[in-house]
Amino acid sequence: MRPMQGYVYPNEFELHWGLLIVVYPYLTGLVAGAFILASLARVFNVREVQPVYRLSLLTALAFLIAAPLPLLAHLGRPERAFEIFLTPNLRSAMAMFGFVYAWYLMVVLLLEIWFDYRKDLVIWSRGSTGVLSLVRRILTLGATDLSEGALRFDAGAGKLITIVGIPSAFLLHGYVGFIFGSVKANPWWSSVLMPVVFLFSAIVSGIALMLLIFMISSLVRFKRVDMACMDKLAAFLMYALVVDFSLEMLDFTQRLYEAEESIRILSQMLSSRLVLSLIVLQVLVGTVLPLMSLALVAPTVRKQGLVKVPDELRRLIYFVVAVLIQIGIFSTRWNVVIGGQLFSKSLRGLTVYKIELLGIEGMLTAGAIVVLPLVILLVLVKLLPPWPDAEAGATAGIGLGLAVSPARR
Amino acid sequence: MAGRSARRWVAAVPQQVRHLGAIFALLVAGLVGARQVLVPKTFGERGHYRAAAVDSIVAQEIGYAGHAACETCHPDIADKKGQSYHRGVACEVCHGPQAAHVLAPMDHKPPAPRERAYCPLCHGYNPSRPTGFPQIDPVLHNPVRPCISCHDPHDPTPPHPPESCAACHGEIARTKAISYHAELPCTQCHAVDRRHSVSPRQQRPSKPTTREFCGRCHAQDADSPPEIPRVDLASHGPGYVCWQCHYPHHPEAR
């Protein structure tokens, strides 16, 4: 590929937002997607996906903890990042994002997880010693009341937070899209559809991720994979994918029909720089192929998919589809972030992105940041087992807990 | 009375809310406290920045004197540069901030960028520079010698490449001048590209290759002035090119 074509301003020769800024919306998308899945399970009481409810919450938390890292690593002076909290700038979308993030982390995710796990935390930590139960005891924050009224309050508060949480999750990821969509000098980004497209691609990636994590965690724990749950997830995935793809096509058609002055350079970019990442990876491999596979095997309109497939094969197809979707969504982020900087604002030239391997903004850092949430998730799962059979209610402990607590009051 | 009803009211609030409330209160108090300590006193007085920053910037030492300051003492250079391609490049771009030199010229001698690596900062080829801006490839453009050995930094107009062949081919020119071909210009027999005088070894002129070339003037039937002596190409020294017996630059070639 030729390094540069046409006329490019000196400050556009090198890209300022690199791989890390690609990773960032990818991670927040997974957070929002996983959380919205959990909320669906709770608010609309979808029985089949209950098994992934807690796992989704923990996944969302794990990815949310890692989400700001790419931004921090990209900053020249990361140790100053906290200043956006001290001196809030109401007129800067980027600065206010810190508050959106904090709201989502503290008020939504942590609270919902806390209310959901409080009973189990109290029971798990009761009587036993050791570091694990000490941590769990600290996590109860001393709120050890397990009376029926208290438990009812937990459930009510959890539900309320979930309801507040859905718009918050929309806000979190819509916001990322908003930041790109409101750059009016950049025709590739500037679009009111951007937040919505980001949101639905987030839902797609989150559901696909949960499908993967659920399947792998079942296998690792030598449990049978719950096919009812998998089928439901696949159906949701398919619906979200349809909406996501339609929105993207709408955006595309609109641009094509409007044919603003930028259309020539954008189509040039599409047909040279973004062939692999957009046409092949994002559209064909990441959307059309999964869409067709899901339409064939996932039970959406009917009780069964269009083609009847044995469970094992269906599971394998879901697995492959979910992996393809992850690749596709990552490419989507790539195309937005990198694509928006490959063409000159003069609309007369194209540059290239040279990816680094080492260095703070290189491939290794980005890879580590993508893997980190999985490590965090592992720790969280040890601390707060999300499996249905670990719930205190499933063991004799619940009887004990309920019997003891009124007596203690 | 009031104390007891307040206590009852607190007891009615679920334990979870009380404990969470305490934590949130701690966090908020922490944030407020941090703001007290960490936000600079004058922040926000005039805008979203530390107002005292303006004073600390004003207090900084001035390093640059400005272009006009140089002209008073170096009018010759300022005039020369004012007429040249570098008229738009300020003195202190190359000589560095020189406020101290203006105050005490003899104590502070400004440095001058004499090394070859300096000029390509602006003139090295870079695709994002505007078309038409003079750019060279620092590796290939007259390598090794410092740029200022050919370009005066205050008037960098490229040195004129030598127009006459004699500048480089003096010996040939001198012998030819007394030869029977004295009247013929070099280009009569050599097709020379303009760039030969800039990079001679890359752009070599042509040389005659055939007997017919000389025959254009010396053949019996040549369409040339009648005073030019003629020979019969077919029988005169056949088998050799003419300049094996008559080297055309030389006077004695008979």
Q: What digits encode the pLDDT tens for the residues A81-111? A: 888 899 999 989 888 988 988 888 888 899 9
Q: How confident is the model over B203-216, as pLDDT tens digits?
A: 889 999 999 899 98
- Least confident residue range of A116-130, A369-383, B78-92: A116-130
> CA B251, CA A329: separation in Å to the nearest integer?
84
| Contact at CB, A13 and B127, closer than 8 angstroms | yes
A395 pLDDT tier (thresholds 50, 70, 90): very low
In this predicted structure, what is the pLDDT of residue A72? Answer: 93
- Least confident residue range of A42-51, A229-238, B78-87, B112-121: A42-51
| Contact at CB, B19 and A141, closer than 8 angstroms | yes
Residues of A in contact with B131 (CB under 8 A): 7
Query: In terms of Cα–Cα distance, which of A264, A341, A296, A376 is closest to A27?
Result: A376
Counting residues of chain A whose pLDDT is more than 70, the rounded percentage is 95
In this predicted structure, what is the pLDDT of residue A340? Answer: 94
Domain residues of chain A, as ranges? 18-182+357-409
B15 pLDDT tier (thresholds 50, 70, 90): confident
CA distances from A79 to A71, A83, A94, A101 (A): 12, 9, 17, 18
Domain residues of chain B, as ranges? 64-112, 113-184
Q: What are the DSSP E strand ranges found in B115-185?
A: none
- Least confident residue range of A61-65, A247-251, B2-6: B2-6
Among chain A residues, the shortest Cα distance to B22 is held by A141
On average, the pLDDT of chain A sits at: 88
In this predicted structure, what is the pLDDT of residue A321? Answer: 96
* Region A383-406 average pLDDT: 56
B140 pLDDT above the threshold of 90: no
- Least confident residue range of A59-73, A181-195, B151-165: B151-165
| Contact at CB, B43 and A13, closer than 8 angstroms | no
| Residue B131 C-alpha, separation from nearest chain A C-alpha, in angstroms | 9
Alpha helices by DSSP H, B63-220: 67-73, 75-83, 91-95, 99-103, 120-123, 170-177, 186-189, 211-218
ipTM score of the complex?
A: 0.77
Interface of B with A in 18-37 (CB under 8 A): 18-20, 23, 27, 31, 34-35
Q: Within an 8 Å CB–CB cutoff, is residue A372 touching chain B?
A: no
Residues of A in contact with B39 (CB under 8 A): 86-87
Secondary structure of chain A in HEC code, one letter for each residue? CCCCEECCCHHHCCCCCCHHHHHHHHHHHHHHHHHHHHHHHHHCCCHHHHHHHHHHHHHHHHHHHHCHHHHHHHCCCHHHCCHHHHCCCCCCHHHHHHHHHHHHHHHHHHHHHHHHHHHHHHHHHCCCCCHHHHHHHHHCCCCCCCCHHHHHHHHHHHHHHHHHHHHHHHHHHHHHHHHHHCCCCCCCCCCCCHHHHHHHHHHHHHHHHHHHHHHHHHHHCCCCCCHHHHHHHHHHHHHHHHHHHHHHHHHHHHHHHHCCCCHHHHHHHHHHCCHHHHHHHHHHHHHHHHHHHHHHHCCCCCCCCCCCCCHHHHHHHHHHHHHHHHHHHHHHHHHHHCHHHHECCCCCEECCCCCCCCCCCCHHHHHHHHHHHHHHHHHHHHHCCCCHHHCHHHCCHHHHHHHHHHHHC
Q: Within an 8 Å CB–CB cutoff, is residue B46 touching chain A?
A: no
Q: Within an 8 Å CB–CB cutoff, is residue B127 touching chain A?
A: yes
Counting residues of chain A whose pLDDT is more than 90, the rounded percentage is 58
A202 pLDDT tier (thresholds 50, 70, 90): very high
| Residue B23 C-alpha, separation from nearest chain A C-alpha, in angstroms | 9
Q: Within an 8 Å CB–CB cutoff, is residue A87 touching chain B?
A: yes
A382 pLDDT above the threshold of 50: yes
Element holding B185 (H helix, E strand):
none
Q: How confident is the model over A167-201, as pLDDT tens digits?
A: 888 888 888 899 999 998 899 999 999 999 999 99
> CA A286, CA B228: separation in Å to the nearest integer?
85
The residue that leads in pLDDT, B6 or B220, is B220
In this predicted structure, what is the pLDDT of residue A1? Answer: 47
B52 pLDDT tier (thresholds 50, 70, 90): very high
B28 pLDDT above the threshold of 50: yes
In this predicted structure, what is the pLDDT of residue A396? Answer: 38
User: Residue A329: CA atoms inside 13 Å, Cβ hemisphere, count?
Assistant: 32
Among chain A residues, the shortest Cα distance to B129 is held by A10
- Least confident residue range of A159-168, B156-165, B223-232: B156-165
A394 pLDDT tier (thresholds 50, 70, 90): very low
Q: Which residues contact B196 (CB under 8 A, 6 or more apart)?
A: B203, B204, B205
On average, the pLDDT of chain B sits at: 87
Q: Which residues contact B173 (CB under 8 A, 6 or more apart)?
A: B164, B165, B166, B186
A113 pLDDT above the threshold of 60: yes
Place of tokens 């090394």: B115
> CA A51, CA B39: separation in Å to the nearest integer?
47
User: Contact, A124 vs A131, CB < 8 A?
Assistant: no
B253 pLDDT above the threshold of 70: no
Q: Within an 8 Å CB–CB cutoff, is residue A135 touching chain B?
A: no
Q: Rg of chain B's alpha carbons, rounded to an integer? A: 41
- Least confident residue range of A83-87, A139-143, B178-182: B178-182
B50 forms bridges with which residues in the sheet? B43
* Region A53-66 average pLDDT: 95
In this predicted structure, what is the pLDDT of residue A408? Answer: 32
Secondary structure of A207-253 in HEC code, one letter for each residue? HHHHHHHHHHHHHHCCCCCCHHHHHHHHHHHHHHHHHHHHHHHHHHH
Query: Per the confidence metrics, is the pTM higher than 0.80?
Result: no
Which of A85, A144, A157 is closest, CB to CB, to B31? A85
* Region A283-309 average pLDDT: 87
Residues of A in contact with B15 (CB under 8 A): 143-145, 150
User: Contact, B19 vs A150, CB < 8 A?
Assistant: no
First to last CA, chain B: 141
A402 pLDDT tier (thresholds 50, 70, 90): very low
B43 forms bridges with which residues in the sheet? B50
Q: C-alpha angle B214/B215/B219, rounded to 5°? A: 140
> CA A394, CA A89: separation in Å to the nearest integer?
49
The residue that leads in pLDDT, B238 or B198, is B238
A58 pLDDT above the threshold of 90: yes
CA distances from A60 to A113, A210, A322, A376, B217 (A): 10, 10, 17, 11, 94
